[in-house]
Each structure stands twice: as C-alpha cells, then as structure tokens.
C-alpha cells in the first residue's frame, strides 16, 4: 500500500467524522428548541454522558467516503478511512469507560 494515500484516507476519514459531529451537534441544537450553539451541545453531551454516541453519529460520513474511494478503486485511501473509523471506535470506547 502507498503510505501517502493511506494517510490521505486517514485525514479524509477524520475530517468526515468532524464534519459529521458538527452536523449532528447543529441538528441536535436545533431540535432542542433552544437553538443552542455547537459548543453548548458538546458540553451538555459531555455532562450527560452521550458524547460517545454523538461522535458515533458523526462517523456515518465515513461510510460515504469509504464507498466513494472503493468505487473509484482507490483502495489505499479506503483503507485510511477504515483506519480512521477504527480510531474513532476506540476513542468512543475509551470515552465510555
């Protein structure tokens, strides 16, 4: 595997997760009826012990980027996205402890 392309896939996976996390926080803030901003939603998620679930929701965008790279036959980048997803899963597990 090309390490540069693997790293690019890892970065894409992490960025997709961050974008998904921000999107989930915005939607959750709007659904709360109080129009909370992103930081308020993340702080309340941390205090109410559902930050791991929110991070997991953000990982849904990794699925889209993974299948995009598979479809374009860029297996090294798809492997990087998979590695990012595994890292996010481990982070979520550590948060739950």
pLDDT digits (tens, 9 = 90+) for 45-75: 888 888 888 888 888 899 999 999 999 999 9
Give the residue-averaged pLDDT of 30-53: 81
Residue 59 lies in a domain: yes
Domain of 55, in residue numbers:
3-23+49-96
Residue 66 lies in a domain: yes
Give the confidence band of 82 by pLDDT, cuts at 50, 70, 90. Answer: very high
Could you tell me which of 75, 69, 59 has the C-alpha nearest to residue 14? Answer: 59
pLDDT at position 1 is 62
pLDDT at position 11 is 95
pLDDT at position 47 is 85
Average pLDDT taken over every residue of the chain: 88
Question: Rounded to whole angstroms, how far apart are CA atoms 21 and 57?
Answer: 7
pLDDT at position 59 is 86
- Helix axis angle, 51-58 relative to 3-31, nearest 10°? 120
pLDDT of 85 over the 70 cut: yes
Residue 42 lies in a domain: no
Q: How many domains, the chain?
A: 1
Tokens 């980048």 sit on residue: 77
Residue 89 lies in a domain: yes
Residue 32 lies in a domain: no
Predicted TM-score of the model (pTM) = 0.84
Question: Rounded to whole angstroms, how far apart are CA atoms 45 and 62?
Answer: 21
Residue 80 lies in a domain: yes
Residue 73 lies in a domain: yes
């Amino acid at each position: 595997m090309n390490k540069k392309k693997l790293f690019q896939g890892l970065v894409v996976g992490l960025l997709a997760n961050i974008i998904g996390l921000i999107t989930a926080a915005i939607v959750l803030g709007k659904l709360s009826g109080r129009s909370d901003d992103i930081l308020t939603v993340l702080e309340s998620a941390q205090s109410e012990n559902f930050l791991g679930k929110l991070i997991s929701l953000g990982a849904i965008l990794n699925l889209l980027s993974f299948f995009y790279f598979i479809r374009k036959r860029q297996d090294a980048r798809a492997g990087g996205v998979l590695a990012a997803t595994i890292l996010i899963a481990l982070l979520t597990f550590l948060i739950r402890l």
